[in-house]
Amino acid sequence: MAKDPVRVLVTGAAGQIGYAIVPMIARGAMLGPDQPVILHMLDIEPAAESLNGVKMELIDAAFPLLRGVVATTDVQEACTGVNIAVMVGGFPRKEGMERKDVMSKNVSIYKAQASALEKNAAADVKVLVVANPANTNALILKEFALSIPQKNITCLTRLDHNRTLGQISEKLNVHVGDVKNVVIWGNHSSTQYPDVNHATVTTSSGEKPVRELVANGQWLNKEFITTVQQRGAAIIKARKLSSALSAASAACDHIRDWVLGTPKGSWVSMGVYSDGSYGIQPGLVYSFPVTCEKGQWSIVQGLKIDKFSRGKLDATAQELIEEKSLAYSCLN
């Protein structure tokens, strides 16, 4: 029997990531090739004409899975009945800006949209915050949408996870699909910690640790970490615009794995509300390694954290503590 359509909200849908992600969703890259979708697209009044243009193109693309399009500048209408909310709307970082610089513009948007989601979305809506500062926007959304279960509010660090897989695959000249179990810890910012201590590569003679294959601790502990941490800035420098196709693709990966499950024996990174795992204080949205099953994520437990990693996990947590207090000062 044909499945009922799932309603997917994309905010900031007239923007760069919006333009890249809506065809991916309509083609089944987010929820699977047999799952019909109804797209809800929100943007602000000055972008209304452009948003309507995106709607026209979606119709022209004649996607068989696309069962309807709501394109609106009314946040209440946009949120009505949505099952998945991908929160991209906001102001992007420009060259030379840190993510903190976009804080005051974006946290007030997330406070307002929290209420709209709480009032209008499906009770079990799953929320992915993409707009920066992603972890702190997600935290604000969670704190102002108390009736949405906290486990349903997440932020995107899958792009950083995928960047890490990409760097290892390039270094070792192996297929990216053969690299697994990297971890992004912490903030989607330049303090994030890309950790390969538990990562492996599938080779013709079985699974081998990444550290053993790379055999260059100096590179792994320095240049590799900085490259991943600074990749967003490098894309901005090269394109004069922030990453869009890779961000859209990572957002689809995040929701797909959350809803449909992670493959056996592997995990992904998601920004989730901390339960105190790995000594990270509750009250922060922090990126952890997670596995997903039946629409629920769980933090992978028991990974060994060495002294070097401990310092990195704590430094990025400290930045999130500071961002949280800055966010609240912007809201007051």
Ligand X SMILES: NC(=O)c1ccc[n+]([C@@H]2O[C@H](COP(=O)([O-])OP(=O)(O)OC[C@H]3O[C@@H](n4cnc5c(N)ncnc54)[C@H](O)[C@@H]3O)[C@@H](O)[C@H]2O)c1
Rounded CA separation 318/67 (Å): 45
Length of the chain, in residues: 332
Query: Which one, 243 or 291, has the nearer CB to ligand LMR?
Result: 243
**239 in a known ligand binding site:** no
Where in the sequence numbering do the catalytic residues fall?
188
Interface with ligand X (CB under 6 A), residue from 72, 83, 132, 316: 132
Among ligand X, ligand LMR, none, residue 142 binds (CB under 5-8 Å by kind): none
β-sheet bridge partners, residue 288? 270
**Measured over all CA atoms, what is the biggest interatomic distance in the chain, rounded to whole angstroms?**
58
Strands 200-203 and 193-195: unpaired
Told to check if 253 binds ligand X by CB under 6 A, we report no
Shortest Å, Cβ 304 to ligand LMR: 28
Told to check if 235 binds ligand LMR by CB under 6 A, we report yes
Shortest Å, Cβ 34 to ligand LMR: 31
Told to check if 248 binds ligand X by CB under 6 A, we report no
The token duo for 28 is: 């089944």
Q: What sign results for the dihedral spanned by CA atoms 133, 272, 153, 40?
A: positive
Closest Cα partner for 228 from 180, 170, 270?
Answer: 170
Counting Cα atoms < 13 Å in the Cβ hemisphere of 206 gives 2
Shortest Å, Cβ 289 to ligand LMR: 19
Binding site for ligand X (CB under 6 A): 11-12, 14-18, 42-44, 47, 88-90, 92-93, 109, 130-132, 134, 156, 159, 188, 242-244, 247
Binding site for ligand LMR (CB under 6 A): 93, 99, 132, 159, 232-233, 235, 242-243
